[in-house]
Chains A and B, each alone.
Chain A
Amino acid sequence: MANLTSEQVKQLADDLLHMTNAVGDYRYENFDNLTEDENSELKELHNQLLGQTTELYTKSALLVMNDVDESLNAIRTITEKTQNLYKNLGVVQKAIDWAARILGMASAIISLDTDNIASSIKNLLT
């Protein structure tokens, strides 16, 4: 996988924000049905994802790298998948598991470790 440009990192941050919003919206919409522990766990995951996203916007401002359209397209696919998933999700544990997997991918993006980004994307696509 090639390196990322600042524009691409910004695009990744936008996509990550959309995924993060889906996690937040799920919590808000299902608040009355969540146990206290489930709510806290989702809230914390949401907070961590927001932290990763804002960090990524800063990284974009600092970086100029080479093109990597393939991973951008994959991220877009994951974004759509996430938004659809949270619209139709019935089981809370699945919501928590998926948020945790996104968090793993976000960490890989933050580190700009392109190998880890690739494997975490693969993990989300399978």
Chain B
Amino acid sequence: MPGKSRYLIITIVSSFMLMGCYELKHVTEFTETSIEALQSYETLPQSFNQICKEDCQLKHVAKFNIHSTQCDCSPEVKADSITNIIYSTSLEYLNGLLAVSDKQLAKYQTADLTTTLSTGNYGSLKLNENDVKAYSTLSSLLLRTFSGINQRKKIKSYVIDGYQPFQQLLTFLELNVHGNIYGKLEVQKQSIKNFYFDHVNNKNLSTYERTKFAEDYFNALNNIEAQQKELDVFSEILLEIKAGHTLLYEHVEGLKNDEVKSGLARLGSRLSLAVRIISNLN
């Protein structure tokens, strides 16, 4: 009988533990969806450097030049590096949130992350804290969280401490991707028109040649607009993730509330839809 009692106690305790996990399942699920959606960044069709190279090539094409076509895109390379760091730090924050919201993931592998964050080794780029003020706060939070023993108890402080810097990082990411890369594509559209306009209107060319130039122009325009559409969807993803995190922050004392559950479910389904749209656009 003592054996049966022990079995019963273990069963009851396990049930409570599972219930505890289940009660924050909506946070875990939303975070998983956020991670998947944020990772769409890696499949985005454009970067600062790529646009710089394309613009440079168009200038050489306009001059009928294919020799000595070097382009100085070093500022764009740095812009990409900063944007990549903002993205990867935001992603790591979400991975941390996933770990503290789900006991099953408490053994989250953080060795590589902690090494990177503590050494400040980001390859060729030396990050200026003035460029991304939120970065150092967030990386400190990640280090603190993963150096602890019981992550599950830390979800409250994790969300509170991470709220401001995480929102800032996503704002910067949105600015660079949907503001600046999108803007550079707008400029590229105008440069292409500037180039094709004179050829399409050149009455010394044959009708066939002028028509071909017009077709080429519209093909190039459609290609850029398809890329901009992806950036639009990615921007929506960032807004949904920010909204979800704000919901967690504002209800941090009652994460098991129905309002939080339904809010995260709604935002999660929007994120899933956005991920499907981006996949279809690729």
Footprint of B on A, CB under 8 Å? 6-7, 10, 13-14, 17, 20-21, 24, 27-28, 31, 39, 43, 46-47, 50-51, 53-55, 57-64
Contact = CB atoms under 8 A, between A and B. Distances in A.
Interface of B: 48, 51-52, 55, 75-76, 78-79, 82-83, 130-133, 172, 175-176, 179-181, 183-184, 186-188, 190-191, 193-194, 197-198, 201
A31 B280 CA distance: 40
Given A6-B175, A10-B179, A50 B76 contact: no
Chain A binding surface, main DSSP class? helix
A8 to B, nearest CB: 11
Given A50-B190, A54-B188, A60 B197 contact: no
Q: What are the 5 A-B residue pairs with the smallest beta carbon separation, nearest first?
A: A61-B79, A54-B187, A57-B180, A57-B183, A61-B180
B236 to A, nearest CB: 19
A59 B191 CA distance: 19
A10 B180 contact: yes
A64 B201 contact: no
B183 A13 contact: yes
A10 B178 CA distance: 11
B183 A17 contact: yes
Given A54-B188, A60-B175, A61-B176, A14 B183 contact: yes
A31 B78 contact: no
Given A24-B194, A63-B131, 11 more contacts: A7-B179, A10-B179, A28-B197, A43-B198, A47-B194, A50-B187, A57-B179, A57-B184, A58-B52, A58-B180, A62-B79
Chain B CB count within 10 A is highest, among A21, A51, A59, A62, for: A62
B175 A20 contact: no
Nearest to B177: A61
A47 B190 CA distance: 9
Given A28-B197, A46-B194, A61-B83, A10 B183 contact: yes
Contacts of A13: 180, 183
A62 B48 CA distance: 11
Contacts of B172: 6
B225 to A, nearest CB: 16
A60 B48 CA distance: 12
Given A13-B183, A54-B187, A57-B183, A62 B78 contact: yes
A61 B82 contact: yes
B179 A31 contact: no
Contacts of B181: 57
Contacts of B186: 17
Given A10-B175, A58-B79, A47 B197 contact: no
A53 B55 CA distance: 12
Contacts of A64: 130-133
12 contacts: A6-B175, A17-B183, A20-B190, A28-B193, A28-B197, A31-B201, A53-B183, A54-B52, A54-B55, A57-B179, A63-B131, A64-B131
Contacts of A59: 75
Contacts of B75: 55, 58-59, 62
Contacts of A17: 183, 186-187, 190
Contacts of A20: 187, 190
A76 B183 CA distance: 17
Contacts of A60: 175-176, 179-180
Nearest to A43: B194
A24 B193 CA distance: 9
